Amino acid sequence: MKSRVFNTVTLTAISIAIYLILVLLQYYEVISEYNGMLLTLAGIYVIISLSLNLISGFTGQLSLGQAGFMCVGAYTTAIAIIRFNMPIPIAILAGGIMTALFGLAIGVPALRLRGDYLAITTLGFGEIIRVIMVNLDSLTGGAAGLKGIPPFSDTKNFILDAIIEFTWVYFIAIIVVAVLSNLIKSSHGRAIISIREDEIAASAMGINVAYYKVYAFTLSAFIAGIGGGLYAIFFGYLNPAMFGWLNSVNFVVIVVLGGMGSMTGTIISAIIFTYLQEWLRVFADFRLVIFGFALIVLMIFWPRGLMGNSEISLTRFFRRLFAGEINPRSAIAAIRKIPKRKTPEKEGGEE
């Protein structure tokens, strides 16, 4: 019990400290307005990528429909604000709930599908959603897009508005990280991971595979819908072309690059991905070539991603720091907590 309280207090203090540092850097323009906007966008990508990591990284189901879930959440949130004058928090929640219903709808019929078949099904779902949004002219604006989405704040002070935007995204991202972290450590999380390791063995051990697959799809869709709602308010404009299949591929790249099943890796990878995409825009059409080459190099040297299936445990680090157990040589080892899991190469008996 004491350990759980210590972990909660430590993570809360760290989250608030990071937030205050970033806000002060933005307020005093150490972080420019442009970089502040990129930081907010990176936070949105973190939320959506974590939702995909729940399906692909922890449950082991390859999905290419995250842009479709994001699209549903974005349009639902925007319409709720514009047409029904809902407050922003309720509109974002409505977007998440609507997207969760779509996740439930696709999760049930996709139960018997795996691997490439599931990927194609979810990819088709994303394209169907995009086409529907194009043809619902009266509700979504059609191909012309949906305009006039109000921002998080309109104080006419650009720095203050940017900080308020960042605050919304940052704390929602913290909540998502906390929810998923606690889920993975729970009995439900262990059941989800067992499906990834061996679906047949998990079923033989009495785990309701169908239930947990649908559960993962629904929760993942809900989180992606929340991210889509933030995305809509952040840009203030929506167009179906913003949610093409390439966006789904981008989120898959983020998860794979960070490490399948690593929340820490996904967060780091999403931030790197956001900034790298923007920095490479100066190369115009060549940026995609450079970006692709960089990904190939990373996959050659880090085939399991930046973090593999490891996590960074800050609570463990501070516990050992306060206990006087930390020295320069052991600091990195204390921060990085590698789960004790045998790799396929070692299961044959040779070390």
The answer, as to whether pTM is greater than 0.85, is: yes
* 1 Cβ contact partners less than 8 Å away, ≥ 6 residues apart: none
pLDDT value of residue 338: 47
Three-state secondary-structure class, residue 337: strand
Report residue 172 as tokens. Answer: 């929602």
pLDDT value of residue 283: 77
pLDDT value of residue 249: 87
Q: For residues 83 and 74, give the distance between their C-alpha atoms in angstroms, rounded to a whole number.
A: 14
* Cα atoms in the Cβ-side hemisphere of radius 13 Å centred on 182: 9
* 110 Cβ contact partners less than 8 Å away, ≥ 6 residues apart: 118, 121, 122, 213, 217
Residue 175 to residues 178, 201, 212, 305, 330: CA-CA distances in angstroms?
5, 33, 22, 25, 30
Helices and strands of the chain, counted as H and E runs: 15, 2
Give residue for tokens 């991603």: 305
Report residue 156 as tokens. Answer: 């006419």
Q: For residues 312 and 171, give the distance between their C-alpha atoms in angstroms, rounded to a whole number.
A: 19
Q: For residues 29 and 159, give the distance between their C-alpha atoms in angstroms, rounded to a whole number.
A: 8
Q: Which of 261, 213, 312 is nearest to 11 (CA)?
A: 312
Query: pLDDT for 196-234, tens place per residue?
Result: 888 889 989 889 988 998 999 999 999 999 999 999 999
**DSSP conformation class of 59:** S
Alpha helices in 83-114 (DSSP H): 88-107
Q: What is the pLDDT along the chain (351 residues), one digit of tens a residue?
A: 556 666 677 778 888 999 999 999 999 989 988 899 999 999 999 999 999 999 999 988 888 889 999 999 999 999 999 999 999 999 999 999 999 999 998 888 777 777 778 888 888 888 899 999 999 888 888 888 898 899 998 888 888 999 999 999 999 999 999 999 999 989 999 999 998 888 889 989 889 988 998 999 999 999 999 999 999 999 999 999 899 888 888 899 899 888 888 899 999 999 999 998 888 888 777 777 877 787 788 778 888 888 877 777 666 666 666 666 655 455 555 444 544 444 444 444 443
pLDDT value of residue 327: 57
